Structure 1
């Protein structure tokens, strides 16, 4: 079996369950709660949602986050694709 989630990994998943009215509020909360820049936090989140332990911990949340990430990557690829 894979590694268990660390306390910080569980905290990141718990944090992602919250609803945010304004992006700035979330960015400030990331700095306050984790002491990380937004960029670093999203790197950590990306690693966490790839973990089999995260999928076991909260499958619905992790799958949703994976779908959101995939959609963002696809949109970025579309923007970067040269016009034909």
Structure 2
């Protein structure tokens, strides 16, 4: 796992109170578009090294991802 990957996970651990603040900070702090940030974050959720680096965060985000996927499947059915 790269230092950029670790920085991305550290960034993901922050909480945002205002809509749009996170997207502005993604560009400012990471130099990524929000779309690319979420793509990279999603890929990291399947990386065992990311789980070892930040287990609580990765497991929480995996749960959120699973719940959203289940909701999408339920709406299609």
Structure-2-length-normalised TM-score = 0.90
- How far the C-alpha of 1:35 sits from its partner, in A, is 2.0
Partner SS, residue 29 of structure 2: helix
After TM superposition, the structure 1 = structure 2 runs for residues 24-35 of structure 1, keeping only pairs within 5 Å, are: 24-35=20-31
Which of 61, 65, 83 is equivalent to 2:61?
A: 65
| TM-aligned CA distance change 1:23 to 1:77, over 3 Å | farther
- How far the C-alpha of 1:23 sits from its partner, in A, is 3.0
Would you say how many aligned residue pairs link Structure 1 and Structure 2? 77
Q: CA RMSD in A?
A: 1.1
Q: Tell me which residue corresponds to 1:77.
A: 73
The answer to whether residue 37 in structure 2 is matched with residue 37 in structure 1 is: no
- How far the C-alpha of 1:75 sits from its partner, in A, is 1.3
Structure-1-length-normalised TM-score = 0.83
